[in-house]
Amino acid sequence: MSVRVGVVLFPGSNRDIDAINGLTVAGAEPVILWHEQADLDGVSAILLPGGFAYGDYLRAGVIARFSPVMRSVAAFAGRGGPVLGICNGFQVLAEAGLVPGALLRNRGLRFVCRQVSLRAEHLDTPFTRELAGAGPLRMPVAHGEGCYFADDATLDALEADGRVLWRYVGEDGEVAAPDERANPNGSLRGIAGVRNAAGNVAGLMPHPETAVESILGSDDGLGILRSLVVSAREYAQTGELSGVRAAAAVAAS
C-alpha cells in the first residue's frame, strides 16, 4: 500500500528533490507541503529536508519555526505522527522545540561536506526499525551549523531515556570525540541525531536521502527512510506508532 509522506518546502530548501527521490525509492508517495500552507494534505508522516530555510537569517531554522506549516507540523507531532528533520530540518525542529538541544556552528567554524560514519543506537524506533543487522552507516554531511549541544543534565537525560538515536563513529566503530575528524562538527558525545520524549519526532544532521542508491557511493541511508515509510504506513492504518510513548506518559515524565 502506497503511503503519503509530506516533504516541507521552505524558501531556501535545497534537498527537497533528493528527499522526494529517497522517499520514492523507499516506497512512499511524496507530497510537497509549501511553507505557507496549513493543510497537511492527509499525509501520514512528515520529512523536513535540508537547505537554508528563509536563508538561515538570524540563525539556522529560527524564522522557519514561525511558518504556518510548522504550526500544523507541531499539531501533527502532538497527535503522535512521525516527523523526521534532516540537517536544516533538524535545526528547524530544534528551534521549534520539537526535539531537545541546539545546533551550533561547527567546531572548526567551517562548512563541512564529506562522508561520515554513523551508528544507530536503538533499533526499535520509528526511524531505525529497518536497520536491524546494519553496521556503521555511510552517508554525507553538508552543514555549517551541525554541532549538537545541550547542557550536561539534558545530555544525561537523553542517554538514560534512550533518545540518542545516532552517533558519529570512527573506523573502529567507537563514538567519535568532539575533537576527532570522524566527528565532523564537534557534537557533544558524538551525537548525530536525537528524538523527542514521545519518540515520534527525530532530527538527524547527516543526509540519508542522498545515500539511497549504491551507484552514488552508498545506499546506507535507505534503511532510515524505509523506517519512516513503514512507520507512516503503521500510523495511517492504526493511528499509533510502535516504539513510542503515550502522550499521558510523556506528560507525567
Count: domains in the chain:
1
> Which entry of 87, 95, 130, 147 is annotated as an active-site residue?
87
Q: What was the pLDDT predicted at 59?
A: 82
Q: What was the pLDDT predicted at 1?
A: 65
109: domain CATH number? 3.40.50.880
> Which entry of 95, 121, 145, 209 is annotated as an active-site residue?
209
pLDDT band at 79 (very low <50, low <70, confident <90, very high): very high
Instruction: For residue 201, list its beta bridge partners.
Output: 83
* Domain of 225, in residue numbers: 3-252
The answer, yes or no, to whether residue 162 has pLDDT greater than 60, is: yes
- Joined grid coordinates for residue 197: 520524549
> Which entry of 35, 121, 147, 207 is annotated as an active-site residue?
207
Instruction: Record the pTM.
Output: 0.94
The answer, yes or no, to whether residue 228 has pLDDT greater than 60, is: yes
Q: How far apart are the first and last CA of the chain?
A: 36
Q: Give yes or no: 87 in active site.
A: yes
Burial class (CB in 10 A: 0-12, 13-18, 19+), 214: exposed
Q: Give yes or no: 209 in active site.
A: yes
pLDDT band at 118 (very low <50, low <70, confident <90, very high): very high
